[in-house]
Amino acid sequence: MAVANATTAAAAEPRLKREVGLVGLLFVSVGSIIGSGWLFGALTASQIAGPAVLISWVLGGAGMMLLALAHAELGGMYPVAGGSARFPMIAFGSLIGFAGGWFAFLGAVTTAPIEVEAAIQYSSNYLSGLTTTSGGTPVLTFEGYVVAAVLMLVFSIINVMGVKWLSETNKVVVWWKIFIPVLTVIVLLISAVHPHNFSSTGGFMPFGWKGVFLAIPGAVIFSYLGFEQAIQLGGESQNPRRNIPLAVIGSMVIGIVLYIALQVAYIAALEPSSLSKGWDQVAFGGKGATFGPFAGLATALGVGWLATLLYIDAVISPFGTGLLYVGTSARLTFGMGRNRYVPKGFAMLTTRGVPVFAITFSFLLGMIVFLPFPGWQQLVGFISSATVLAYGIVPLALGALRKQEPDRPRPYRLPAGSVTAPLAFIVANEVLLFSGWAVVWKLIVAILIGFALLAISSATSKPEERPQLDWHQATWLWPYLLGMSVISYLSSFSTSTMSKIPLLGLNGPVNDLHFGVDVAVVAVYSLVIYWLAMRTRLPDERTRAYVEAALVEAESEDEVGT
Residues 168-182 pLDDT 10s: 666 777 888 899 999
pLDDT, tens digit, 9 for 90 and up, residues 410-422: 888 989 989 999 9
Output the pLDDT for position 283: 66
Helix (H, G, I), strand (E, B) or coil at 40: helix
Output the pLDDT for position 1: 41
Residues contacting residue 505 through CB under 8 Å, at least 6 positions apart:
none
Q: Within 10 Å of residue 253's Cβ, how many Cβ atoms?
A: 14
pLDDT, tens digit, 9 for 90 and up, residues 480-492: 999 999 999 998 8
The mean per-residue pLDDT over the stretch 212-228 comes to 87
Quick one: CA dihedral 402, 406, 409, 414, positive or negative?
Answer: positive
Query: With bands split at pLDDT 50, 70 and 90, how would you rate the model's confidence at 287?
Result: very low
Percent of the chain with pLDDT over 90: 25
Q: Within 10 Å of residue 543's Cβ, how many Cβ atoms?
A: 21
Output the pLDDT for position 6: 40
The alpha helices in 410-539, defined as continuous H runs, are 417-435, 437-460, 477-490, 517-535
Please give the Cα distance from 216 to 167 (Å, whole number).
30
133 near 375, Cβ under 8 Å? no
Helices 163-191 + 304-338 axis angle, to 10: 150
Model pTM score: 0.82
Query: With bands split at pLDDT 50, 70 and 90, how would you rate the model's confidence at 76?
Result: confident
The mean per-residue pLDDT over the stretch 302-318 comes to 85
Q: Which amino acid is at 474?
A: A
Buried/exposed code over 313-327 (b: 16+ C-beta within 10 A; e: otherwise): bbebbbbbbbbbbbb
pLDDT, tens digit, 9 for 90 and up, residues 537-559: 999 988 888 888 777 665 554 44
Query: With bands split at pLDDT 50, 70 and 90, how would you rate the model's confidence at 278?
Result: confident
Please give the Cα distance from 303 to 287 (Å, whole number).
17
Name which of 426, 62, 424 is nearest 216 in CA terms: 62
Please give the Cα distance from 550 to 401 (Å, whole number).
14
pLDDT, tens digit, 9 for 90 and up, residues 90-112: 999 889 988 888 888 888 888 88
- In sequence order, the β-bridge partners of residue 237 are 20
- In sequence order, the β-bridge partners of residue 133 are 138
Measured in Å, how far apart are the chain's first and last C-alpha atoms?
27
Q: Within 10 Å of residue 463's Cβ, how many Cβ atoms?
A: 6
Please give the Cα distance from 61 to 255 (Å, whole number).
8
Output the pLDDT for position 189: 93
Query: With bands split at pLDDT 50, 70 and 90, how would you rate the model's confidence at 267?
Result: very high
Q: Which amino acid is at 422?
A: P
477 near 521, Cβ under 8 Å? no
Give me the domains of the chain, ranges plus CATH numbers: 2-375+387-414+540-556 (1.20.1740.10)
323 near 169, Cβ under 8 Å? yes
101 near 332, Cβ under 8 Å? yes
The mean per-residue pLDDT over the stretch 229-244 comes to 75
Phi, psi of 81 (to 5 degrees): -65, 140
Phi, psi of 410 (to 5 degrees): -120, 105
HSE-CB of 226 using CA atoms within 13 angstroms? 36
Q: Find the Cα–Cα–Cα–Cα dihedral 434, 438, 440, 445, rounded to 10°.
A: -170
pLDDT, tens digit, 9 for 90 and up, residues 9-64: 444 455 556 666 677 788 888 888 887 788 888 888 898 899 999 999 999 999 99
DSSP codes, 392-407: HHHHHHHHHHHHH-TT
The mean per-residue pLDDT over the stretch 437-461 comes to 83
Name which of 113, 112, 100 is nearest 389 in CA terms: 100
217 near 385, Cβ under 8 Å? yes
Helix (H, G, I), strand (E, B) or coil at 270: coil
- Tell whether the model's pLDDT for residue 502 goes beyond 50: no
Output the pLDDT for position 506: 46
Output the pLDDT for position 494: 61
Output the pLDDT for position 136: 61
More confident residue, 130 or 560: 130
Please give the Cα distance from 122 to 292 (Å, whole number).
5
The mean per-residue pLDDT over the stretch 433-449 comes to 86
Burial label for 56, CB within 10 Å (0-12, 13-18, 19+), is buried
CA 68 to each of CA 159, 247, 393, 517, 534: distance values in angstroms, whole numbers, following the listed order: 25, 10, 12, 27, 21
Output the pLDDT for position 65: 94
Q: Which of 120-134, 498-512, 541-555 has the highest mean pLDDT?
A: 541-555
Query: With bands split at pLDDT 50, 70 and 90, how would you rate the model's confidence at 299?
Result: confident
Average pLDDT value for the chain: 80
Please give the Cα distance from 5 to 89 (Å, whole number).
19
Output the pLDDT for position 11: 42
Query: With bands split at pLDDT 50, 70 and 90, how would you rate the model's confidence at 387?
Result: confident
- Tell whether the model's pLDDT for residue 477 goes beyond 80: yes
- Tell whether the model's pLDDT for residue 501 goes beyond 50: no
Please give the Cα distance from 12 to 62 (Å, whole number).
45
Helix (H, G, I), strand (E, B) or coil at 283: coil
Q: Find the Cα–Cα–Cα–Cα dihedral 93, 99, 105, 106, rounded to 10°.
A: 180
The mean per-residue pLDDT over the stretch 508-522 comes to 79
Helices 36-49 + 53-77 axis angle, to 10: 140
More confident residue, 142 or 190: 190
pLDDT, tens digit, 9 for 90 and up, residues 318-376: 777 777 778 777 777 777 777 777 777 777 777 766 778 888 888 888 787 776 555 55
Left, alpha or beta for 93 (phi > 0: left; psi -120 to 50: alpha)?
left
Output the pLDDT for position 256: 95
